[in-house]
Structure 1
Amino acid sequence: MRKLRLFFGFIFMMILFIPHGHAERIRDLVTIEGVRDNALVGYGIVVGLDGTGDQTSQTPFTIQSITNMLSQLGITVPSGSNMQLKNVAAVMVTAKLPSYSRVGQQLDVVVSSLGNAKSLRGGTLIMTPLKGVDNQVYAIAQGNLFVGGAGASSKGSSVSVNQTAGATIPNGATIERQLATRLDEQDIIHLHLNQFDFTRALKISEAINKLQKNSAVALDGTTVSLKMPKESHARVQFLSKIQNLEIGRTPISAKVVINTRTGVVVMNQKVQLDNCAVAHGNLSIVVNNKLKVSQPNTPLAGGTTVVTPDTQVSIEQEGGALHNLAAGADLKRVIKSLNLLGANPTELMSILEALKSAGCLHATLETI
């Protein structure tokens, strides 16, 4: 119960420090259609490991990659060679290519082991093409790896801190191809809201129309249509002004979010509770199965020794008194009422579901 009170107390303190009624900027609420990151991926080889690379007998693709790479460098590996390499690892390389990126700019890349390498610490990524979804090469990655984890092992014992099979290379990729963007050619673009809300979409369109008349229309709770100026420099100025426009905070829907994997329960400030009575308790079923050996009393009795099971089943139920939960018109009173139950987070999930079914909890339950 003490942990539950501390949990709700912490949530309530966080809510107290949230600025109520503060205006929101449009740049924090929407994204511009077509302006997004694009995923890049590539297959590469890391060399220079200190004996922590792939076990090549179990990862034949690593040997095949080394053979292909050496052949491109003019080195022929005799057929049938059994290379036992410990300083090489096959990896997957990923990066994000932002919109309006230009040739020659650099990107951060993430390198992840594909085989059974123990660690990528100290390795160097060999030149790796990074392709987009259209199978075109947009960047080339190469460089020394930065591994945030560490590990050591000796005589069957090991210790590790964080992840050692993954690494990053800051500015490790150079852009070789630009993305084709048509934002400058479009007369109408769309702003997509991060959260579906008709009221917020309407407020955004009204704020834009105050800046420039008849330029924005709220199509639905997610999309605002925006009429763009014809000149390219005027488009940049127009979008810059729109991003910095502020609108008043819109009312939010009451919601309770439950994480069934971790037992975390979070509710926003609009949650309300009607007067109700709740009783909760734990039901435990214990099955204890013991094996007993039954044998004849005398050696000459002629019987045989047998094993007989002895199963005992018991049902225990903790007593749960009926508690009255007072009506709560704000989050502070809701937390105070729920704390009186003394339920742990797992029990609280079931209680909230029952309160919702009974019509006492005025909020939407969302499970993640």
Structure 2
Amino acid sequence: MIRRLAIFFVALLASLPVPAAAERVRDLGQFQSVRSNQLTGYGIVVGLDGSGDDNFAYLTQAMRGVSGRLGLQLPPGVNPALKNAAAVIITAELPAFAKPGQRIDVTVSTMGKAKSLRGGALVMTPLYGADGQIYAMAQGNLAVGGLGVSGKDGSKLTVNVPTVGRIADGATVEQAVTSNFDFSEVLRWNLYYADFLTISRVRDAINGAYPGMAQVEDGVTLALMLPPGANTRAEIMARIEMLEINPAERAAKVVINSRTGTIVISSAVRLAPAAISHGSLVVRIDENPMVVQPAPFSRGRTALEPNSTISASQQDNVVSRIGPGASLAEVVDALNALGASPADLVAILEGLKQAGSLTAELVII
């Protein structure tokens, strides 16, 4: 009942009339050349308190490489027990225009059977981009929010995820990513979500400030003819990002989470004339076994005799009629009048979609 009321109030708030608010261009999309890049690397975390990978083959091979770089050669055929070390994957995001010497955060995750990274330190590890080049070097002590402990009898207790850690400012940028924003003839700006009306309004706003500068390439991309030079372009790009427009209304969607029963209905959803009937059947089975005692001086045994009671009840069907072009508020009122549970609402909305009465995209996750 509480969940149903919560869904009702969320949908009701979404249905209230909201004046069209202007949004900044920078909140609707971004320039194509101004983007972050993903980095990844493979390394070793040492200093663990017996929670490492032990004889994990990849860890042994990596430890040989680390020892070799430090001038220590392990004897051939020797596979050391490495309970205090773990093989890890390091991931990071290189921000746009990051320069050598700047520091970025890194995330460290185990890839073997290590139980915890708490108390460990990452050995210096190169981080590679998609082109295979080294863009940063990572090293440092891990901050782990999880905790994992176990007893000798096999019992275990795990809080959060102890196999993933983070190092704030744990990597130093060694190479900058080349950007062409200051010399390319055409600079492109991309919407986060494709919409022809919104992209047209952004074009008109830019051309209003800088006549003839913007042209639409498709439902996402604008081509901007900017004068060369980083100083001039940066000033124009800053002004473009602060322009305000009224974006187009989002497409009509009904999003259903079938696992939790959560339903989100956008304000653009409309219904064609329809009638909905809903009723629920409740079947209840009570088991009340009876103890049967044997007769006096007999050789019988005390036994349990099954005693089942079956009852069924059905709520009266309620029919709700929805008029043509019903708004979100009317849809919510009609569904709430039926007294349907979240699971029932999913079935009702699917039925409306199949009947052709629901003018919206039905998304089930």
TM-score of the superposition, structure 2-length normalised?
0.85
Q: Give distance in 1, aligned partners of 2:319 and 2:140.
A: 64
Q: Give distance in 1, aligned partners of 2:14 and 2:156.
A: 40
What residue in structure 2 maps to residue 233 of structure 1?
231
Moved more, 197-206 or 257-266: 257-266
Asked if structure 1 preserves the Cα contact closer than 8 Å seen for 2:281 and 2:315, the reply is: no
How far 1:100 moved relative to its partner?
1.2
Alignment of 1:323 onto 2:314: no
> Which secondary structure does the structure 2 equivalent of 1:279 belong to?
strand
Q: How does 1:93-132 map to 2 (within 5 A)?
A: 93-132=90-129
> Which secondary structure does the structure 2 equivalent of 1:8 belong to?
helix
What residue in structure 2 maps to residue 342 of structure 1?
339
1:87 to 81, 84, 88: 84
Moved more, 241-250 or 6-15: 6-15
- The alpha-carbon distance between structure 1 residues 23 and 131, as it changes in their structure 2 partners (threshold 3 A), is same
Asked if structure 2 preserves the Cα contact closer than 8 Å seen for 1:255 and 1:365, the reply is: yes
How far 1:10 moved relative to its partner?
2.8
Asked if structure 1 preserves the Cα contact closer than 8 Å seen for 2:26 and 2:242, the reply is: yes
Asked if structure 2 preserves the Cα contact closer than 8 Å seen for 1:54 and 1:88, the reply is: yes
TM-score of the superposition, structure 1-length normalised?
0.85
- The alpha-carbon distance between structure 1 residues 345 and 122, as it changes in their structure 2 partners (threshold 3 A), is same
- The alpha-carbon distance between structure 1 residues 15 and 36, as it changes in their structure 2 partners (threshold 3 A), is farther
Which consecutive segments of 4 or more residues in structure 1 shift more than 6 A?
Answer: 282-285, 316-320
Asked if structure 2 preserves the Cα contact closer than 8 Å seen for 1:104 and 1:176, the reply is: yes
Q: Quote the RMSD (CA, aligned, Å).
A: 2.4
What residue in structure 2 maps to residue 73 of structure 1?
70
What residue in structure 1 maps to residue 220 of structure 2?
222
What residue in structure 1 maps to residue 183 of structure 2?
185
What do residues 5-62 of structure 1 show as CA deviations (whole Å, max 9, x unaligned)?
322213433665x953111100011121122111111000000111111132xx2111
> Which secondary structure does the structure 2 equivalent of 1:347 belong to?
helix
How far 1:165 moved relative to its partner?
0.4
Asked if structure 1 preserves the Cα contact closer than 8 Å seen for 2:121 and 2:142, the reply is: yes
Asked if structure 2 preserves the Cα contact closer than 8 Å seen for 1:123 and 1:144, the reply is: yes
> Which secondary structure does the structure 2 equivalent of 1:115 belong to?
coil
- The alpha-carbon distance between structure 1 residues 67 and 230, as it changes in their structure 2 partners (threshold 3 A), is closer
What residue in structure 2 maps to residue 303 of structure 1?
none
Asked if structure 1 preserves the Cα contact closer than 8 Å seen for 2:37 and 2:95, the reply is: yes
Q: Give distance in 2, aligned partners of 1:103 and 1:318.
A: 72
What letter is aligned with 1:153? Answer: S
> Which secondary structure does the structure 2 equivalent of 1:27 belong to?
helix
Asked if structure 1 preserves the Cα contact closer than 8 Å seen for 2:183 and 2:229, the reply is: no
Moved more, 84-93 or 353-362: 353-362
- The alpha-carbon distance between structure 1 residues 77 and 232, as it changes in their structure 2 partners (threshold 3 A), is closer
- The alpha-carbon distance between structure 1 residues 320 and 33, as it changes in their structure 2 partners (threshold 3 A), is farther
How far 1:278 moved relative to its partner?
2.3
Q: Which residues of structure 2 form unaligned runs of 5+?
A: 284-311
Moved more, 108-117 or 219-228: 219-228
Q: Which residues of structure 1 form unaligned runs of 5+?
A: 286-315
How far 1:206 moved relative to its partner?
0.7
What residue in structure 2 maps to residue 31 of structure 1?
30
Q: Give distance in 2, aligned partners of 1:138 and 1:273.
A: 54
What do residues 160-190 of structure 1 show as CA deviations (whole Å, max 9, x unaligned)?
2211100111110001111111111112111
Alignment of 1:258 onto 2:269: no
Q: Give distance in 2, aligned partners of 1:82 and 1:230.
A: 59
What letter is aligned with 1:109? Answer: V
Q: Give distance in 2, aligned partners of 1:261 and 1:69.
A: 47
Asked if structure 2 preserves the Cα contact closer than 8 Å seen for 1:216 and 1:226, the reply is: yes
Q: How many residues align?
A: 336
* Percent pairwise identity: 42
Q: How does 1:154-169 map to 2 (within 5 A)?
A: 154=151, 155-169=153-167
Alignment of 1:172 onto 2:179: no
How far 1:281 moved relative to its partner?
5.6
Q: Give distance in 1, aligned partners of 2:264 and 2:344.
A: 14
Q: Give distance in 2, aligned partners of 1:113 and 1:165.
A: 6
> Which secondary structure does the structure 2 equivalent of 1:266 belong to?
strand
Alignment of 1:45 onto 2:44: yes
What letter is aligned with 2:329? Answer: K
Moved more, 318-327 or 171-180: 318-327
Q: Give distance in 1, aligned partners of 2:356 and 2:77.
A: 74
Asked if structure 1 preserves the Cα contact closer than 8 Å seen for 2:15 and 2:328, the reply is: no
Moved more, 265-274 or 328-337: 328-337
What residue in structure 1 maps to residue 130 of structure 2?
133
> Which secondary structure does the structure 1 equivalent of 2:190 belong to?
strand
Asked if structure 2 preserves the Cα contact closer than 8 Å seen for 1:279 and 1:320, the reply is: no
How far 1:126 moved relative to its partner?
0.2
